[in-house]
Amino acid sequence: MAVLRVRGRALPDGEPVDLYADGDRWTDDPVPGATLVAEGWLLPGLVDAHTHPGAERVGLPLDEETLRADLRGHLDAGVALIRAPGLAGDGEPPAWFGRDPDSPRAVHAGPWIAQRGQFFDGWGRRPSLADLPDVAAAQAARTGWAKIVVDWQPEDEVMPVEVLREAVARVHAVGGRLAVHSQQAAGGVVAVEAGVDSLEHGMCLDSALLPRMAALGMALTPTLAAINQSLARRLASPDDAVRTGSYVQGASAHGGLVAAAAEAGVTVLAGTDSRPHGRVAGEVRAMVAAGVPSHQALGAASWGARAYLGLPGLVAGAPADAVVYDVDPRDDLGILDHPRAVVLRGRLVRGRSLL
């Protein structure tokens, strides 16, 4: 296989780099005859940290053809790594998931874990509260992550903090990490009190908890663009109860919460949680519109998210992923929709060589 070369200014620091793909690792040792595939502003691949590929509608089983198409949508947008905190069906993807040369790297949390009587029909597991910590630990032992739904409908009971705290302890004991779904204020309190690793959505979270989240190293994946879209639909409803309900109140305040989280030092991750796949650039722009500095918002979808998920950036020895733009994307967020080149696992998957 031909050795690929990229050069330019690499974010987050903007320093000049000249890198060669030695298989699936970057090296800065020059390789004679390497093919220069892109030159410009380089990011170490985009990341969608909250996506559920593989099913066209809620409740449907995982479909391999749909999964491949969804992952291709991510890759075409420059996404080289995804995290799926919950997968359709039984949550067991095909063996090629995350390894296929034509789809992004991937980590996942298997099926959602919820309380009985909650969550979407056809998806997830619903063990007893007594068994839930063990179920979460077993999942994390298999895939590195587990995902728990701590609150669902406003009238539903929030998961008891002692159960969630035990789940965190069990998951950490096997070397895993725990993500939780929360869109209720009480659920956010329980999640922070239990010390989970990642809070998904986090709508209605009390901003007073943000310093505690930062101190714990807890990430927030706000899925802001998806919540903004849902808010717009509700505001356009002719039903007064829909337009003024508790969801509208929480969603209306969500952008301010995301900006406050970034300012407080919370690790913020970009995630789309919506179809079609490959729209993480929209999440970056939604964060910036809410008041998150563009450098931080871009990091939430690139180098910061990769670091949180255990992958280094554009340095020698790092995985050979990169997305290249003609201008600094921090100055022109629209350029995120138009990558010059995408390199994954040392292969050019979008763009053409320059020489």
- pLDDT > 90 fraction of the chain, expressed in percent and rounded: 93
Residue-level length of the chain: 355
User: In the structure, what pLDDT confidence band is assigned to residue 2 with cuts at 50, 70 and 90?
Assistant: confident
Cis peptide before 276 (omega within 30 of 0): yes
For the stretch 62-71, contacts whose Cβ atoms lie closer than 8 Å and that sit 24 or more positions apart, written own/partner, are 62/87, 62/88, 62/89, 62/90, 62/91, 62/93, 63/88, 64/94, 67/93, 67/94, 67/97, 68/100, 68/103, 70/275, 70/276, 70/277, 71/100, 71/103, 71/104, 71/106, 71/277
On average, the pLDDT of the chain sits at: 95
Query: pLDDT at position 354, please?
Result: 55
What are the pLDDT digits (tens) for 243-291? Answer: 778 899 999 999 999 999 999 999 999 999 999 999 999 999 999 999 9
Query: pLDDT at position 331, please?
Result: 96
Mark 289-305 as b/e (b = at least 16 C-beta within 10 Å). Answer: ebebebebbbbbbbbbb
Give the H or E element holding residue 75.
helix 64-76
Cross-strand partners of 20: 5, 27
What are the pLDDT digits (tens) for 36-93? Answer: 999 999 999 999 999 999 999 999 999 999 999 999 999 999 999 999 999 998 888 9
Q: What is the distance between the terminal CA atoms of the chain, rounded to a whole angstrom?
A: 16
Query: pLDDT at position 90, please?
Result: 86
* 195-216 mean pLDDT: 98
User: In the structure, what pLDDT confidence band is assigned to residue 95 with cuts at 50, 70 and 90?
Assistant: very high
Query: pLDDT at position 353, please?
Result: 53
Give the H or E element holding residue 300.
helix 294-300
* 207-236 mean pLDDT: 97
Model confidence pTM above 0.75: yes
Residue 228 in this model has a pLDDT that exceeds 60: yes
* 140-169 mean pLDDT: 97
Query: pLDDT at position 241, please?
Result: 75
Reduce the DSSP state of residue 23 to 3 states and report it. coil
Helix axes 280-290, 254-264, angle to 10 degrees: 80
Query: pLDDT at position 246, please?
Result: 87
HSE toward the beta carbon, residue 235, CA cutoff 13 A: 11
Residue 224 in this model has a pLDDT that exceeds 70: yes
Residue 138 in this model has a pLDDT that exceeds 90: yes
Query: pLDDT at position 238, please?
Result: 80
- pLDDT > 70 fraction of the chain, expressed in percent and rounded: 99
Query: pLDDT at position 88, please?
Result: 95
d(CA 116, CA 100): 35
User: In the structure, what pLDDT confidence band is assigned to residue 1 with cuts at 50, 70 and 90?
Assistant: low
Residue 355 in this model has a pLDDT that exceeds 60: no
Query: pLDDT at position 350, please?
Result: 82
Domains and CATH numbers, the chain: 4-43+313-350 (2.30.40.10), 108-308 (3.20.20.140)
The arrangement of strands across the sheet holding 347-350 comes to 25-27, 15-22, 4-10, 35-43, 322-325, 341-344, 347-350
For residue 328, with 0-12 CB atoms within 10 Å meaning exposed, 13-18 middle and 19 or more buried, which class applies?
middle
Report the DSSP pairing between strands 219-221 and 322-325: unpaired
Q: Does residue 49 contact residue 74 with C-beta atoms inside 8 Å?
A: no
Residue 218 in this model has a pLDDT that exceeds 60: yes
Which residue type sits at 303? Answer: W
CB atoms within 10 A of CB 64: 12
Query: pLDDT at position 185, please?
Result: 97
